[in-house]
Amino acid sequence: MSAAAAVVQPVLPSSSASTGVQQHGVLTADRVAGLLTGCATLHRTGELHAAAVRAGVDGDRAVDFRLQRAYAASGRLDLAVTLLRLTPDPTTVFYTSAIHAHSSRGLHLAALALLSEMLGRGLIPTSHTLSSSLPACHGLALGRALHAYAFKLALAGDSYVATALLGMYARGGDADAARALFDEMPDPHVVSVTAMLTCYAKMGALDDARELSMMKASGIQKEPGCSAVEVGRKVYEFVAGDMSHPRTDEIYSMLERMNELVKEQGHVPQTELVLHDLDEASKEKALAVHSEKLAVAFGLISTAPGETIKIVKNLRACSDCHAVLKLISKITGRKIVFRDRNRFHHFVDGSCTCGDYW
């Protein structure tokens, strides 16, 4: 048994419990690596890990890498890091996978610690390493240091790195630096446009936001926001202002109640995020029917008290929705697991694992 297998032995099923993989016949390293691809449940990962140990292929680099990714995908980041550190001479790819797994879940300090560890080994980051690390930067100082390093590696012009840099500056409130990057992009992605618009809106620079919106409208089509919530093993999708669900009346009744409750907690709708020329009441209504709020309302009326609500959104959540979801988790005593384009958010008792930086 390898050192890595010994460390994770407590989660490995016994031989009798792992008969599900025997149907695959003789397990070679390539076969195990293939079976691990896309594996995201702890039980299945443990089964395949145990099978790899018995077959004597758990030291194979391809197997170890896919085991690391599978443990991370199943939520056991501790085991993923254990495997990483027990892998002889791990490459940049091993570290990048671990950095991305932590950064996307809002575990910023751990992600940056892994980056530091990787650099300490003399490994050179790739564009994916940097684009995964930049969202973990809480301050502009560290972000600027990574920007300088990206220049040194001739990666600053990479589309993924540039988009991550723009997002970092936008979140940090440096609209000038963000706009400079944006203007250098030959074909800005909708993510970059959205980051710039959000940055301008938060700073109150509505004229700049409107100018950018009009300038890019002809060439960039903003992807419509859509939130999916899982209820009873089925997935239900909502867009902003959606009224297509059979339980629309109940959903909007709960939505109205949610708005009342969060206001009682002191929440003030961030109407400055609405860029349209509307009065305050209309802006507030526009914010209230964002897709993730509809998904939460549906989750509240469709699941048992105390049950976790799981939502996935294709775009980044706005700061108003983020604030509302925090308060709803506190008011209802529910845990809300929310995955937007940037990362995982775990809302529990009024706080979020992202530390309000995403």
What pLDDT is stored for residue 292 in this prediction? 95
- Domain locations along the chain: 146-222, 228-352
Predicted local confidence at residue 19, as pLDDT: 44
Name the nearest CA neighbour of 175 among 211, 225, 218.
211
3-state DSSP assignment of residue 175: helix
pLDDT at 299: 96
Per-residue pLDDT of the chain (358 residues; tens, 9 = 90+): 455 555 555 555 554 444 455 555 567 778 887 888 767 678 888 888 888 888 888 878 888 898 898 898 888 999 999 999 999 899 999 999 999 999 988 899 999 999 999 999 999 999 999 999 999 997 888 999 999 899 888 888 888 898 899 889 988 888 888 888 887 777 777 778 888 888 888 888 878 888 777 766 655 555 678 999 999 888 999 998 888 999 999 999 999 999 999 999 999 998 877 755 567 887 888 889 999 999 999 999 999 999 999 999 988 888 899 999 999 999 999 999 999 987 899 999 999 998 887 6
Q: What pLDDT score was predicted for residue 16?
A: 43
CA distance 156 to 55: 44
The CA–CA distances, whole Å, from 159 to 21, 37, 172, 184, 246 equal 41, 26, 20, 11, 42
The type of residue at 321 is C
Q: Output the furthest CA–CA distance in the chain (Å, rounded).
A: 69
The answer to whether 142 touches 113, Cβ cutoff 8 Å, is no
If you count them, how many residues does the chain have?
A: 358
Res 204: pLDDT: 81
pLDDT for position 53? 85
Residue 87 structure tokens? 């892998």
pLDDT score of 1: 46
d(CA 156, CA 212): 23
Query: String of b and e for 177-188 (b: at least 16 CB within 10 Å)?
Result: bbbebbeeeeeb
Angle, CA 80 vertex, CA 77 and CA 81 arms, to 5°: 90
Q: Are strands 309-313 and 344-348 parallel, antiparallel or unpaired?
A: unpaired
Element (H, E) at 346: strand 344-348
DSSP for 27-94, written as a single string: --HHHHHHHHTT---HHHHHHHHHHHHHHT-TT-HHHHHHHHHHHHHTT-HHHHHHHHHHSSS--HHH
- φ, ψ at 318 (rounded to 5°): -75, 160
